[in-house]
Chains A and B, each alone.
Chain A
Amino acid sequence: MYIIIVGGGRLGYYLTKALLDEGHEILAIEKEATVCEAIVSELGSVCIRGDGCEVSTLTEAGTGRADMLIAVTGDDEDNLVACQVAKHKFNVPRTIARIRNPKNETIFKKLGVDVTVSSTNIILEHIQEEVPTHPLTHLLTIRDKGLEIVEIKIPPGSIMIGKTINELSLPPKSTLFLIIRKGQRPIIPKANTILEAEDQIIAVTTPESEEKLRTTLRGA
């Protein structure tokens, strides 16, 4: 695939490197001459100097034949415009924007960016997961189906301990598919499986049902 990366900062640099390793054809666009030169001296001629929001720069980069454009500068508005110019002027099939302000996620989707990645949300979530009492962890999002895979821990003293799976009233589109119990082989839950304290439950759910699933399982 031919992929254009707008922004040669730390994220842009590591992304360029990683995608090159996967065998893609990559071109990074970076405003700062020194940053651009550093990338070229290390990774070869995979970076041009310019403003990735400008039509002339994107033309020079051959954006017309790009399969994807990924905008990872530190400014949300620059990432939005780079994606929109790529999409509307050059018909790039897939655009991905990094966003710093999580509030911009819905706005970007509405304005035609295919995928947004919120660096703030990702870091936040990883840190939250390290807080021992954190009730629910997102493991995976199946974006196009609107589903997510989550992990929920049954806290000691929960009123759900001793209940069977059958007795739970699970919210719509939610399925429990694995119970991880200390020192045992992971269990595939059946109707008569009894919940124990400290069980880690892996489930599929939707963003809408997530809260209900959490309260159902934790008994809070």
Chain B
Amino acid sequence: MLACLLLAGCSAIPYEPADQPVPAEAEPPAPARVEPPPVAPPPPPAASTDASRSESEPPSVAVLVSDSIPAYNGIAAALTEVGGERRIAVFDLDGDPAQIGAVMEKVRESGSDQLVAIGLLAARAGHEYSESPVVFCQVFNHQDDNLLASGSRGVALVPPFSMQLEAWQALSPQLRRIGVITGPGHEELIREATAAARSAGIELVSRVVKSDKETLYVFKRLVPEIDGLWLLPDNRILSPNVLRELMQYSRKHNQQIVAFNPALLEWGAVMSVTATDTDVARQVLGLIDEPAPRGDAKTGTLTPLTEMHVEVNEALARRLGLDVPGQAAQRITARAD
């Protein structure tokens, strides 16, 4: 079941579950959480594997942040918030690979039982240097560094395509063909997305490219064939110039783009779908609480997210002939370009 989440300061489509409509007047002034049934039930707290630690002592968790950006810091804060009695220590690499050694030394010195790596730089550091089990998040191209190797687990960066597609279809019921462009190594993601699309009666057209310019070129060639583009946060094939041009081209050709970042709404994306920090934190903590994988268990699979945050560029949506739900119209209009 999908959830519709409205965050403070943002406007979002009131996502209306099929079996439990949300009243129109029930616009929450503050973040409200609708707890969907988890894709995977949260495991019971696992017993510490450290024999030296007493039974009553809560586990300690080291949180290694790649850089001080809101997308990372928010999750770190959410981990502290939802971490319960766990002792959580946060370490920041400040985006500087040169600090990895020193910071990892501090992590070791903290005697943490678990390491949570937020962002690719932290994930690489944990994968390389941590002796503790590592759970990473906010990483899209984990396969390039083989981060899901033994001992490491991860949480997905983007909500499941099935959820995104349901929200997209709510905004654009006539949606029939969706394009997606990725760099190499996301065959599993594409496979799952294709299956989800097919079950929703939508054809997913995927292309694999190797550079930003190729992304733009392929997109321009895809435009006549598709109704919208599902834009994934693959930093290898995206650049600011290409994103600007891609957005401009999509506006010019009335193409719907569902982006991974609300910042792209004002540039031409009709809808953005992002994960919520608390959902990511819960999934991370869920993995921490699970027993460490042994052998091939859980290896190569990311833990999916269960919540998402949706924002719509209402003005663009109307120009595209889409029917924007009225509750969010005013706010969206305020954010529109």
Same complex origin of A and B: no
